[in-house]
C-alpha cells in the first residue's frame, strides 16, 4: 500500500511549553496577532498560575530573542540577586554542609530554603517588562488575559504538578514540597486538602487573589510590582518573617542585558546566554564534541556515551571552578570556548582519560520553559523558575516567592558566597540556533543541573543526527553531573554493562524519559514550524 499522505497543517507560528494551559494561552496570543515575544510572555504568565511550584512572578528568568525586523538579538537575564542587607557570613555558623546531590546547601533550620530569609530579589517580571518594552507588539495588558482567566476559572491538578506537590527531598537534605505548600495560610487554602495533604490529581484549583494581582500589574505595569502596592505587600511579608528583602532591593533591580554567546558547531551558530546562566557550559561541551565524528560511533552506543559524558564532566569541572556572577569574579569565557582549549580537552578524551567530577552544584528541578516562533521570523527562548520555592505567599497576593538563597554558599570567600546584589550561577540555557545568520531552532529546558546536558544532547540529535524536534527531545538521554553516569531506563542493559566494564559508575533511572524536559521548535525552511514537547512533562506544541 502507498504511504499515507501527510495531513498535518503547515504552521508558520508555534509555541511549545510543558503545560497545556500555557501553550493554549500562547497560541491564543499568536492567533490574535501578537508576535512571538507577546505569545511567550502570555504563556509564561499562565505557567505561573498553573505550575505554581515551578515558576511565577515571584521567580527569576533568562530570555533570548532574535527579531529579524529590528535586527535585534538579545538576552535579558533576570537571575535573582541577594538582598542589599545580606552579608557573606550571615549563615556561616549555621552551615551544615552541601546537599548530597550537590543542589544547594544545608543550613540549620532550613532558613535558606523555607520562608522569608530564603528569598532573593525576584527578576522574572522585570525581564518580561523590559523585553516587551523593546520588542512587544500587543499592549502589555493583553499579555495577562490567559493567566487571569485560568486563575479565576481554575485549572485541574495534572500529573507533573502533582509530582511536584508531593516531591519529598528529605533524602537530599531538603524539605518535602508539602511543607512549602502549607507554610502559609494562603498556601494551605489554595493547594491543600482539609487534612493538610496536597490536592490530588484531577482536583480543581482557583486563585482569585492571583487574578487580582495580575490585573493590577496588567493595568499598572511592572512598576506596580517593583515600586507600588504589590512591592509593599511583598516587603511587609518578608520582613515580618525576618527576611532581608527591602523596597530598595525591588526598586533598584535591573536586568542584565547582553548579546548572546555565539558558539560554532557543525557549520551552525548556537546562541546561548552568558554567565551566570548556563550557556558557557553548553558551549564548552559543543566545542569539545565538534572535534569528533559522532555519527561514526552510533547513536547512544557505549563509545558515543563515553565520549559525550567526558565532555560533560570536563565542562562541569570548569563550571565549578570558574563560572559565577561576572560582576563579582572573572569568568574566562573566551578561554573556555576557544579552539585551543577545545583541542586540549579533546586530546585528553582521545588519550582515554576519565575525568573526575566529584561534586556539581546544581539548580532546582522546579523550573519551566517556553519556546515560540512567529510568521515574521521572530524566535524566542525563555527559561524561568522559583529556584527552590520558599513557601512564602504574601497574604492576599496568590503567588509564591522564590527561595534562591538556597543556591548561595554560606561559607565566605568562595565563588558562590553570599554578597549584596550578587547573582548565583544557574544552569538555565535558553538557546537559539542560526544557519548562516537565519534562526532555525529555538529550545530550552527545565531540569536543574540536567538542563545543560539535556539541551546539548538535543542539539546533537538535531544537528548531527538529523532528527525532528519531537524525535530529538524524546530520544533516551544520559547525564554526568557528578561521579556517576545516570542513564534513562530505555538505554539497554548491555550498554550499561559495557560502560561499567570501562570503569564508570552507572545509575539507571526509573524514568523512561529522564534528565530535564527539553521543549523546542525547528523551522528549517524558513516557513514551516515543527515542535517537540518532552514526554516527561504535560505540555505540547501548538501551531497557528
pLDDT tops 90 at residue 508: yes
Mean pLDDT, residues 18-47 taken together: 98
* CATH number of the domain within which 474 lies: 1.10.246.130
In a domain, 268, yes or no: yes
pLDDT of 5 reads 65
pLDDT tops 70 at residue 460: yes
pLDDT of 322 reads 87
Mean pLDDT, residues 105-120 taken together: 94
Structural domain total, the chain: 1
User: Could you list the residue range(s) of the whole structural domain that residue 492 is in?
Assistant: 261-363+442-534
Q: What is the mean pLDDT of the chain?
A: 94
pLDDT tops 60 at residue 45: yes
What is the value of pTM for the model shown?
Answer: 0.95
Grid cell, residue 212, equals: 487580582
Contact 438, 517 (CB under 8 A): no
From residue 143, give the alpha-carbon distance in Å to each of 26, 28, 72. 9, 10, 21
Grid cell, residue 544, equals: 497557528
In a domain, 165, yes or no: no
Mean pLDDT, residues 169-186 taken together: 89
Mean pLDDT, residues 220-231 taken together: 98
In a domain, 171, yes or no: no
B/e letters for 28-61, b = 16+ CB within 10 Å, e = fewer, are: bbbeeebbbbbbbbbbbbbbbbbbbbbbbbbbbb
pLDDT tops 60 at residue 365: no
In a domain, 53, yes or no: no
Catalytic amino acids? 367
In a domain, 140, yes or no: no
In a domain, 7, yes or no: no
Q: Which of 87-101, 224-238, 242-256, 434-448 is the least confident region?
A: 87-101
pLDDT tops 80 at residue 6: no
In a domain, 426, yes or no: no
What letter does residue 212 receive in the DSSP assignment? H
In a domain, 465, yes or no: yes
Classified as helix, coil or strand, 1 is coil
The values of phi and psi at residue 458, to 5°, are -65, -35
- Residues forming beta bridges with residue 441, ordered by sequence position: 433, 522
| Rounded CA Rg of the chain | 22
Amino acid at each position: 500500500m502507498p504511504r499515507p499522505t501527510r495531513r498535518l497543517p503547515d504552521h508558520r507560528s508555534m509555541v511549545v511549553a510543558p503545560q497545556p494551559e500555557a501553550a493554549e494561552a500562547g497560541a491564543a496570543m499568536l492567533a490574535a496577532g501578537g508576535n512571538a515575544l507577546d505569545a511567550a510572555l502570555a504563556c509564561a504568565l499562565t505557567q505561573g498560575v498553573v505550575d505554581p511550584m515551578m515558576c511565577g512572578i515571584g521567580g527569576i528568568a533568562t530570555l533570548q530573542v532574535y527579531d529579524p525586523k529590528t535586527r535585534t538579538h538579545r538576552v535579558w537575564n533576570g537571575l535573582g540577586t541577594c538582598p542589599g542587607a545580606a552579608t557573606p557570613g550571615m549563615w556561616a555558623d549555621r552551615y551544615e554542609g552541601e546537599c548530597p546531590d550537590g543542589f544547594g546547601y544545608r543550613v540549620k533550620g532550613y532558613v535558606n530554603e523555607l520562608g522569608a530569609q530564603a528569598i532573593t530579589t525576584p527578576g522574572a517580571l522585570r525581564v518580561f517588562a523590559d523585553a516587551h518594552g523593546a520588542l512587544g507588539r500587543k499592549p502589555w495588558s493583553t499579555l495577562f488575559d490567559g493567566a487571569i482567566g485560568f486563575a479565576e476559572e481554575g485549572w485541574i491538578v495534572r500529573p507533573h504538578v502533582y509530582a511536584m506537590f508531593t516531591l519529598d527531598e528529605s533524602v537530599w537534605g531538603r524539605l518535602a514540597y508539602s511543607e512549602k505548600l502549607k507554610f502559609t495560610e494562603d498556601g494551605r487554602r489554595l493547594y491543600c486538602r482539609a487534612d493538610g495533604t496536597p490536592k490530588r490529581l484531577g482536583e480543581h484549583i482557583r486563585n482569585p487573589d492571583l487574578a487580582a494581582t495580575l490585573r493590577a500589574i496588567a493595568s499598572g505595569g511592572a512598576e506596580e510590582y517593583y515600586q507600588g502596592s504589590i512591592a509593599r505587600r511583598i516587603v511587609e511579608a518578608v520582613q515580618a518573617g525576618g527576611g532581608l528583602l527591602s523596597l530598595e532591593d525591588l526598586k533598584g533591580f535591573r536586568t542584565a542585558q547582553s548579546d548572546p554567546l555565539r558558539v560554532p558547531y557543525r557549520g551552525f551558530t548556537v546562541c546561548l546566554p552568558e554567565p551566570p546562566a548556563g550557556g558557557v557550559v553548553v558551549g564548552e561541551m559543543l566545542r569539545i564534541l565538534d572535534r569528533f565524528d559522532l555519527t561514526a560511533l552510533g547513536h547512544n552506543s557505549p563509545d558515543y556515551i563515553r565520549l559525550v559524558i567526558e565532555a560533560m564532566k570536563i565542562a562541569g569541572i570548569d563550571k565549578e571552578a570558574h563560572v559565577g556572577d561576572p560582576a563579582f569574579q572573572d569568568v574566562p569565557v573566551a578561554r573556555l570556548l576557544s579552539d585551543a582549549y577545545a583541542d586540549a580537552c579533546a586530546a585528553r578524551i582521545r588519550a582515554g582519560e576519565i575525568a573526575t567530577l566529584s561534586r556539581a552544584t546544581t539548580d532546582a528541578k522546579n523550573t519551566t520553559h517556553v519556546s515560540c516562533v512567529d510568521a515574521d521570523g521572530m524566535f524566542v527562548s525563555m527559561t524561568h523558575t522559583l529556584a527552590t520555592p520558599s513557601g512564602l505567599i504574601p497574604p492576599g497576593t496568590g503567588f509564591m516567592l522564590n527561595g534562591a538563597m538556597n543556591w548561595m554558599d554560606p561559607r565566605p570567600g568562595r565563588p558562590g558566597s553570599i554578597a549584596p546584589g550578587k547573582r548565583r550561577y544557574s544552569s538555565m540555557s535558553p538557546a537559539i540556533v542560526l544557519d548562516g545568520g537565519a534562526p532555525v531552532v529555538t529550545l530550552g529546558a527545565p531540569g536543574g543541573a540536567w538542563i545543560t546536558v539535556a539541551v546539548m544532547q538535543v542539539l546533537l540529535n538535531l544537528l548531527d543526527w538529523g532528527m525532528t524536534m519531537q524525535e530529538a527531545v524524546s530520544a533516551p538521554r544520559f547525564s554526568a553531573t557528578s561521579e556517576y553516569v545516570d542513564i534513562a531506563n530505555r538505554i539497554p542493559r548491555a550498554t550499561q554493562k559495557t560502560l561499567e566494564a570501562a570503569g564508570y559508575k552507572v545509575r539507571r533511572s526509573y524514568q523512561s524519559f529522564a534528565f530535564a524536559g527539553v521543549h523546542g521548535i525547528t523551522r528549517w525552511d524558513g516557513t514551516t514550524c515543527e515542535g517537540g514537547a518532552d514526554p516527561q512533562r504535560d505540555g505540547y506544541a501548538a501551531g497557528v
